[in-house]
Amino acid sequence: MNLKLRFEKQLVESGLNYTVFYLPSLFQGIISQYAVSILDKQTIVVPQSENKMMYIDAQDIAEAVVSSLFLNTKENKRIPLITNENWSPQEIISLCEKYSGQTAKTLYTPNFALQALASLFRLFQWSWSLSEQLTLVDSSNETSNKVYLDKMDTSKFNTLDEYLKDYFRVMLKKLKEINANDSKEAPIF
């Protein structure tokens, strides 16, 4: 984050035209963090805090960025892509359970333990991605305290509920097809 903030400061001071988008977490990250773990019956590590975060679909981000290219009023702006939905990990897990028809195995971990692990993993280059994931698990929206010059309309963006419903509909159908094919090919003794 410090590198990102330094880069943004230099960009603003450079005199070049710029548009900086502030993004919440992505829907796609929820798939690897929660949905796949539930389908694979793996334990999900959940922070004990009830911090809620905004999430957004990567396709919505792409559309917003591309549409901003055609608006001259977006030059030298800082634009948050803010949605009206905030979700706690527990609420996301409940949605995943609802659409998967399965019960999640969860391990509630104190926030200080997650922060300690993130600091430990930051020491080794091979584990930097783990450190970042642990940092994001309990991060709050750091950009919420900034003053924005503009705000983009996000009312037409996809909702997390619909995104997860579609994901589990497709995945459960695929898993059913795979299981049907496996049972046809299984040898009979």
Q: At what angle do helices 89-100 and 160-185 cross, to 10 degrees?
A: 40
Q: Specify the pLDDT at position 151.
A: 54
Instruction: Label residue 99 by pLDDT band (50, 70, 90).
Output: very high
Rounded Cα distance, 30 and 34, in Å = 5
The reply to whether 13 falls in a domain is no
The reported pLDDT for the residue numbered 35 is 93
pLDDT digits 0-9 by tens, 17-28: 888 888 888 899
Contacts 24+ apart (CB under 8 A), 61-64: 61/21, 61/23, 61/26, 64/21, 64/152, 64/154
% of the chain beyond a pLDDT of 70:
78
Q: Is the pLDDT of residue 187 over 60?
A: no
Domain membership of residue 151 as a residue range: 18-110+147-166
Q: Is residue 151 part of a domain?
A: yes
Instruction: Report the pLDDT value the prediction gives residue 22, as an integer from 0 to 100.
Output: 85
> Predicted confidence band at 169 (pLDDT cuts at 50, 70, 90)?
very high
Q: Provide the pLDDT for residue 141.
A: 39
The C-alpha angle with vertex 133 and arms to 127 and 136, in degrees rounded to 5, equals 145
Asked if residue 175 is part of any domain, the answer here is no
Question: What does R_g of the chain's alpha carbons equal in angstroms?
Answer: 20
Of 81, 85, 88, 89, the residue nearest 33 (C-alpha) = 89
pLDDT at 172 over 50: yes
Q: Which residues, including other chains, have CB under 8 Å from residue 7's CB and lie 6 or more apart?
A: none
Q: What value does the mean pLDDT of the chain take?
A: 80
Residue 126 maps to a domain: no
Is 179 among the domain residues? no
**Integer angstrom CA distances of residue 70 from 13, 66, 73, 75:** 24, 8, 9, 10
- The pLDDT of residue 132 is 61
Q: Is residue 174 part of a domain?
A: no
Would 142 be classed as within a structural domain? no
Nearest residue to 55 via CA among 33, 34, 28: 28
State residue 181's pLDDT score. 76
Structure tokens at 141: 């929206």
pLDDT at 156 over 50: yes
Would you say residue 125 lies in a domain? no
pLDDT of 149 reads 37
Domain count, the chain: 1
C-alpha distances in angstroms, 40 versus 34, 104, 161, 166? 10, 10, 21, 18
Q: How confident is residue 123, by pLDDT bands cut at 50, 70 and 90?
A: confident
**Percent of the chain scored above 90 by pLDDT?**
30
CATH of the domain at 43: 3.40.50.720
| Model confidence pLDDT, tens digit, residues 18-74 | 888 888 888 998 998 899 999 999 998 888 777 888 999 999 889 888 887 776 665
**Contact (CB, 8 A) for 63 and 150:** no
Cα 87 to Cα 163: distance, rounded to the nearest angstrom: 14
